[in-house]
Amino acid sequence: MDLAKINYLAVLAAGVAYFLLGGLWYSPLLFANAWIAEMKFSPEHIEAAKKAKGMGKTLATTFALGLLMAFVLALLLQAVGPRGALASGALGLLVSFGFVATTTATNYLHEGHTLRLLLITTGCPVIGSALMGLILGAWR
């Protein structure tokens, strides 16, 4: 792998897009209410979470992990060599579905979570990985 061939601006853009998707995904516009219900959080728990110290650190770490994910996907795309946005998006989708969704599903089966919660929590990284792949593939 040649780190000099990585488009770091594309990695940054992909990481930002992934972070923004997560914000939208877990907003009341999309799945926040369903996720809260599936997690069985009380209104008191939600209020406490909003006031909790360390949310900035959590968000910064979340962003950094998204950047790491984009970087690893960029390395994988370099190694595999798909051409263009669609092929790169498809690879992002397959990798995330094949590893993230299956691993999460295995854990959720043992933890007794619902299919609805599984779809909510795995949907974001699966769609987000496809989005990152599209960005990385288009910006080569």
132 is written with which tokens? Answer: 């990152």
Q: Please give the pLDDT value at position 51.
A: 78
Q: Quote the pLDDT of residue 14.
A: 98
Which tokens in the block code for residue 53? 């110290």
The answer to whether residue 24 scores a pLDDT higher than 90 is: yes
Q: What is the pTM of this model?
A: 0.91
Q: What is the mean pLDDT of residues 85-107?
A: 96
Rounded to whole angstroms, the Cα distance separating 124 from 115 reads 15
Mean of pLDDT values over 128-136: 98
Give the end-to-end CA distance of the chain in Å, rounded to a whole number: 15
| Average pLDDT score over residue span 15-33 | 97
Cα(65)–Cα(103) distance, integer angstroms: 17
pLDDT one-digit tens code per residue, 40-92: 998 788 888 777 788 889 999 999 999 999 999 999 999 998 789 999 999 99
Q: How far apart are CA 46 and CA 98, in angstroms?
A: 32
Residue 50 pLDDT = 76
- Res 63: pLDDT: 98
How many Cβ atoms are within 10 Å of 85's Cβ, its own excluded?
16
**Structure-model confidence comparison of residues 111 and 140, the more confident one:** 111
